[in-house]
Structure 1
Amino acid sequence: MKVVHHSNYIRWMEEARVYYLDKWGYNFRDLEESGLVSPVVSVTGRFVTSAEFTDEIIIYIGVSDLKSAKFVMNYRMIRESDGALVFEGESVHCFIREDRSIIRLERDLPGLYNKLKELKEQKDPD
């Protein structure tokens, strides 16, 4: 099969999100060990053109919305060889405790909230 299966794009979104949150100082393993979980509330995407297995894909990620209890990350996947937009999407997340109670980011995780707010205000995503 030459074309990348559509399910891979969602996996790439998750890998990019985990990578960038870790890069910004919020390691998911550490958060989970402290009793916090960040489930995906929803995922949407648009396939623009096909990626092939040999393509190198660059993923640009940013924070497009931030509320007290949730945040939205946006993704653009670009084929490195020609700069073509392959996929764009977004994922909505919240943070909960192990007992499934909602965490209010601004109140309960102010450092993370402020970092997400800073990232939302950036003009160009990483």
Structure 2
Amino acid sequence: MIEHSHSLRVLYPETDKMGTVHHSNYARYYEVARWELFRAIGIPYNEIENAGYMLPVIKMNFRFIKTIQYDELLTIKTVLKEIKGVRIWFTYKLYNSQSELVNTAETELAFVCKENWKPCPPPEFVLSAIEKAYLI
């Protein structure tokens, strides 16, 4: 299991009329956290794209526990749960400034060829980086 923590601050335009973070922002928060996990193990996302691969999200699931307000400092704990065939799974735990769990999520992505968007095995350099990170 590979785990990575990433912090970010809630911006004013991310809130809604109710004064809380709009639900659409959670997908963006988790995308940032996911790519920061990849960066931490030595794979900036642009390297994946430059090698001819894309990683579209094919499934996501959120559980909203508490609301989040403007200017809160959030911490996202991302876990690369599994990689099997063309698919890769991540889980997320989102904490507020008081270290309270406010949201959990899971995403499933698939490796596809950039040229034709057909599913394909992950590139060897991604598998190698993941394997190396598991051993650390």
So what's the TM-score if we normalise by structure 2? 0.77
Aligned-partner Cα distance in 1 for 2:32–2:104: 15
Unpaired stretches in structure 2, ≥5 consecutive residues: 1-16
Aligned-partner Cα distance in 2 for 1:91–1:59: 14
Aligned-partner Cα distance in 2 for 1:113–1:8: 29
How many residue pairs get aligned? The number is: 118
Aligned-partner Cα distance in 1 for 2:60–2:106: 6
Deviations 1:76-96 (A, max 9, x none): 00012x211011001101111
**Counterparts in 2 of 1:24-103, with a 5 A limit?**
24-80=41-97, 82-97=98-113, 98-103=115-120
Unpaired stretches in structure 1, ≥5 consecutive residues: none
SS of equivalent to 1:20? helix
Identity over the aligned pairs, expressed in percent? 21
Q: Which structure's relative contact order is higher, taking Cα pairs within 8 Å and 6+ residues apart?
A: 2
Deviation of 1:55 after TM superposition, in Å, equals 1.1
So what's the TM-score if we normalise by structure 1? 0.82
Q: Is the 8 A contact 2:41 2:133 kept in 1?
A: no
Divergent runs of 4+, >4 A:
117-122
